[in-house]
Amino acid sequence: MRLDGLGALISGGASGLGAATARLLSERGARVAIVDLDGDGAGALAAELGDRAVSFRADVTAEEQVRAAVERTVEAFGELRLVVGCAGIAWGERVVGGEGAARLEPFEKVVGVNLVGMFNVLRLGAEAMSDNARDDEGERGAVVMTASIAAFEGQTGQIAYSASKAGVAGMTLPAARDLASLGIRVCTIAPGLFDTPLLAELPQKARDGLAAGIPFPRRLGRPSEYAQLVAQIAENPMLNGETIRLDGALRMPPR
């Protein structure tokens, strides 16, 4: 797909990987809808990007809120061709710790946002794309979801996060197969350690220690590099049904 003039929706688009993606797509000529639970942050970024951007507040786990954001994006841009799912949360807790068994509620919340919320964005975005005219390749649109290398090498205390991200990776191929007849592609990016607001809260010494474990390049990933891969997936019609690790050859240790 050509990015110039394309209509895109980014969930979790107000910060981190999502914000970097919104900026890059806008620079490439796309029109972007920034959707986030942080409505003020989404609005501020849309204002920064100018008339190519709009913003909507939505909880990805709320069906009607996501549906409204999708519908308003189509109204604003005429069509929706690219959906990028970046909304997610993390939680650390062992299955059994000093206070006994892990609590069920945090596990359910992480899976609810990261997996169920991702599916909500996927299904409603794809539904809107199904009304698009096909391009010269027969394509109507593409969805890029976000997993994590924790889907494959979850560390101690990452039981909820790893389960949720493994679910996203597991959805990728069947979703691509489900949507193939409609001309809609689905890929997932599994980032490693990226310089996002979550890691920015750590002391510099801790950040340096994390970066030292990455074979090459020996640094944290840049959100712009995630955004670059989103653009490459959108532009390359043979990328479909794949989960792509973006991690500098990092394989996470047990802790």
Helix (H, G, I), strand (E, B) or coil at 34: strand
Q: pLDDT per position in the chain (255 positions), as tens?
A: 999 999 999 999 999 999 999 999 999 999 999 999 999 999 999 999 999 999 999 999 999 999 999 999 999 999 999 999 999 999 999 999 999 999 999 999 999 999 999 999 999 999 999 999 999 999 999 999 999 999 999 999 999 999 999 999 999 999 999 999 999 999 999 999 999 887 776 678 777 888 889 999 999 999 999 999 999 999 999 999 999 999 999 998 888
Query: Which residues belong to the active site?
Result: 161
- Would you tell me which CATH number, out of the four given (3.40.50.720, 3.40.50.2300, 3.10.129.10, 3.90.1200.10), belongs to the domain 7-193+226-246? 3.40.50.720
Going from the C-alpha of 140 to that of each of 9, 10, 81, 119, 120, the distances in angstroms are 15, 17, 7, 19, 19
Type of residue numbered 109: K
Least Cα distance to 241 among 182, 191, 169 occurs for 169
> Containing H/E element for 7?
strand 7-11
Question: Residues 147-160, buried b or exposed e (16+ Cβ, 10 A)?
Answer: bbbbbbbbeebbbb
Domain parsing of the chain, residue ranges: 7-193+226-246
